[in-house]
Chain A
């Protein structure tokens, strides 16, 4: 059973990368970005393409990051230049990406199996530490990766550009009076966010050993859920705490779904109830402050 938790934690850390991306748009920029459902499989698709072309995982990840940034930039341009509302801009990019991802992959499902001669980051890691169980190797690596990303993002958000991005989310008009173009900040923020999301896609593709065109479905929701769960669990408004909240939230959220799948059936839980469970979990957490206020007063 312990092993099951270890795997859920791994997945939580992997999705933590995606959640950090969602955090930048959703919390820093106040921009609900639905591009995620398309840029997540985009990262995976581009990564797979590079693998099939014979490149190593390093190149695949670099190209995935770039592709994600371009996808985000596209959404940003739709919003800032064409003045299309935020939600719609994301949805439009997401729809376009479905066809683009199919084009990139050439087919809807690509295997990264060792049988077909692919060596992903995880197989390389496993072979580098043959005496350590694979699950621990992955766990240590993923912890390292997410901590590295966390501090990178923390540092970035403290720079002048980072501060301007956060200010844009709070008050666009004020930012403009300071001589900063809020549109530029949005473009940078959304690109960065989707680069992270695509990285998560590329990493998850390696983790599961294949890419499927439908792997992006519901990713925005799981990213948002992670952000919100983290905020409820950990208090604090500093950047350091906020990014930590996202990572913790992502791990807890994955554990919750794993537990629902694992023990839910003993209380009459059916596999198709999972989405309802996810929805209810987010609703309860979102309603938490209101409930507390109402019942706290009474």
Chain B
């Protein structure tokens, strides 16, 4: 027994020595509401930029605990509590309900939110310019007005624009209100179809056929998950489909104007790095996407019977107009 005691003591001392010698690792808790391509891209972009730009390498000087609530709100709260009791150095919360759970769980640990459309009405921050407290982040508010303007610019004779969204997603409801406003300002009518699950998407898209001159899909998670169904309906009926997420333009859309969620994650890392260097989250204004992409799908251009040269000229004109307003846009074609 005695011998075991001595061995244990030596091991303990050795462990302590190692512990003292090792550099203190930064610990970041990442929580997202559900596994979803866009949200996963945010997480990956964050981790990549932390490593490539700021030298935080996983396992070396930083440790991540990435958790997904699997759509369960109660679990999101438990995850937030876990991070708070473990006293992580920073919480990255991806999407609205997870961010609300985190903000509710701690007033001390810095929280950086990402992929939240409207942080003020979500109660995350009081003011976008001066968040105050321990919270700041980046809003994924998509440039709805510009997207609607693009449709009007490409199809000046269009009168009615169809759109699909899940009325159960807060971000979609916010963007839809903006779309309605943008349409009204341009003299367009927005025809809405709502879905409750991915199973409803095909039928909802079909219901718009004959009623609209173009279809616009914003960043709605449910509809984007079933985008193939919308693309099929649009191609069959020769309706141009315009998206807010460039990464999904291959699914039968004509073009997409928006930002890339991976870069969104990288931009989130910029904020996190500033906080880790000692800046107060409350002093860092909430950011929006800095770079936009306009991506065209040549296959759809052909399928719709449009002239590729005409379209390209028009898109170039549109991009130039945006750049005059100080928005950085990259025009590209889907390979």
Q: Which residues of A contact B (CB under 8 A)?
A: 1, 3-4, 7-8, 11, 15, 98, 102, 107-109, 111-116, 204, 207-210, 212-215, 217-218, 222, 257-258, 261-262, 265, 271-272, 274-275
Q: State A102–B170 Cα separation when bound (angstroms).
A: 10
Does B78 lie within 8 Å of A11, measured CB to CB?
A: yes
Determine if A261 and B82 form an interchain contact, defined as CB atoms under 8 angstroms apart.
yes
Of all A-B residue pairs in the complex, the 5 with the closest CB atoms, nearest first, are A113-B123, A111-B123, A109-B170, A209-B104, A4-B85
- When the two chains form their complex, are residues A215 and B73 in contact, meaning their CB atoms are under 8 A apart? yes
Q: Is the CB of B125 within 8 A of A115?
A: yes
| A interface, over-half SS | helix
In the assembled complex, how far is the CB of residue A161 from the closest CB belonging to chain B, in whole angstroms? 33
Within 8 A of A (CB), among B51-81: 65-75, 77-79, 81
Contact of B103 among A1, A3, A209, A265 (CB under 8 A): A209
Establish whether residues B104 and A107, one from each chain, have CB atoms under 8 Å apart when the complex forms.
no
Interchain nearest-CB distance for B273 vs A (Å): 25
Give the residues in chain B near A8, CB-CB below 8 Å: 78, 81
In-complex Cβ contact of B96 among A109, A218, A275 (8 A): A109
Q: Please report the C-alpha to C-alpha distance between residue A249 and residue B195 in the assembled complex, in whole angstroms.
A: 37
What are 16 of the A-B contact pairs (CB < 8 Å)? A3-B84, A15-B74, A107-B170, A108-B173, A109-B97, A113-B104, A115-B126, A116-B121, A215-B73, A215-B74, A258-B78, A258-B81, A271-B68, A271-B70, A274-B75, A275-B70
Known: A98-B196, A109-B170, A209-B104. 19 other contacts (CB 8 A): A4-B81, A7-B81, A7-B85, A11-B78, A98-B168, A108-B168, A109-B100, A113-B103, A115-B124, A209-B100, A212-B100, A213-B168, A217-B71, A257-B75, A257-B78, A258-B78, A258-B82, A274-B72, A275-B70
What residues of chain B lie closer than 8 Å to A213, measured between beta carbons?
168
Chain A residue numbers with a CB within 8 Å of B125 are 115
Give complex CA distance A113, B141 in Å.
Answer: 21
Please tell me if the beta carbons of B81 and A102 are within 8 angstroms of each other in the complex: no
Q: Are B123 and A217 in contact (CB under 8 A)?
A: no
Determine if A3 and B73 form an interchain contact, defined as CB atoms under 8 angstroms apart.
no
Q: Please give, as numbers and ranges, the residues of chain B lying within 8 Å of A111 by CB-CB distance.
A: 100, 121-124
B residues less than 8 Å from A113 (CB atoms): 100, 103-104, 122-124
The answer on a CB contact under 8 Å between B170 and A108 is yes
Complex Cα distance, B122 from A208, in Å, reads 13
- Asked if B167 CB lies within 8 Å of chain A CBs, one says yes
The contact of B85 among A1, A98, A112, A212, by CB within 8 Å, is: A1
Complex-state Cα separation, A271 to B77, whole angstroms: 14
B101 interfacial contact with A, CB 8 Å: yes
CB of A261 within 8 A of CB of B104, answer: no
B69 near A212: Cβ-Cβ < 8 Å: no
Residues of chain A contacted by B74 (CB below 8 angstroms): 11, 15, 204, 215, 222
Chain A residues within 8 Å of B100, by CB: 109, 111, 113, 208-210, 212
A209 surroundings in chain B (CB, below 8 A): 100, 103-104, 123
Q: Which of B73, B81, B122 has the most CB of A within 10 A?
A: B73
Instruction: Identify the closest chain B residue to A270 (Cβ).
Output: B68
Q: Chain B nearest CB: distance from A294 CB in Å?
A: 34
Contacts A4-B85, A112-B123, A212-B73 known; A107 to B78 CB distance under 8 Å?
Answer: no
B169 at the interface (CB under 8 A from A): yes
A275 to B334, CA, bound (A): 38
Expressed in whole angstroms, the Cα–Cα distance for A61 and B121 within the complex equals 23
Question: Contacts of B173 on A, CB cut-off 8 Å?
Answer: 107-108
- Which of B103, B167, B168, B174: most chain A Cβ within 10 A? B168
Q: How far is the CB of A278 from chain B (nearest CB, A)?
A: 10
Complex-state Cα separation, A209 to B67, whole angstroms: 21
Separation in Å of the A121 CB from the closest CB of chain B?
14
- B279 CB–A CB distance under 8 Å: no
A210 — which chain B residues lie within 8 A by C-beta?
A: 97, 100-101, 104, 122-123
Complex: A38 Cα to B81 Cα, angstroms: 26
User: Using Cβ atoms and an 8 Å threshold, which residues of chain A touch B317?
Assistant: none
A116→B118 CA distance, assembly (Å): 13
Cβ–Cβ < 8 Å partners of A214 in chain B: 71, 73, 97, 168
User: Is there an interface contact between B121 and A208, defined as CB atoms closer than 8 Å?
Assistant: no
B69 CB contacts on chain A under 8 angstroms: 271
Contacting residues, chain A, for B104 (C-beta < 8 A): 113, 208-210
Whether the Cβ atoms of B167 and A271 lie closer than 8 Å is no
User: Which chain B positions have C-beta within 8 A of A115?
Assistant: 123-126
Does B35 sit within 8 A of A, measured CB to CB?
Answer: yes
Q: Which of A208, A217, A258 has the largest number of chain B CB atoms within 10 A? A: A208
Partner of A116, one of B84, B123, B169: B123
Assuming the contacts A108-B167, A115-B126, asked whether A261 and B79 have C-beta atoms less than 8 A apart, the reply is yes
Are the CB atoms of A261 and B67 closer together than 8 Å? yes
Chain A proximity mask over B78-96: 1 for CB below 8 Å, otherwise 0:
1101101100000000001
Q: Which residues of A contact B75 (CB under 8 A)?
A: 257, 261, 274
Q: A272 vs B173: C-alpha distance in the bound complex, in angstroms?
A: 27
Known: A11-B77, A109-B122. A208 touches B170 (CB 8 A): no
Measured in the bound complex, the distance between the Cα atoms of B104 and A164 in whole Å is 43
In the bound complex, residues from chain B placing their C-beta under 8 Å from that of A3 are 84-85
Known: A3-B85, A257-B78, A261-B82. A208 touches B68 (CB 8 A): no
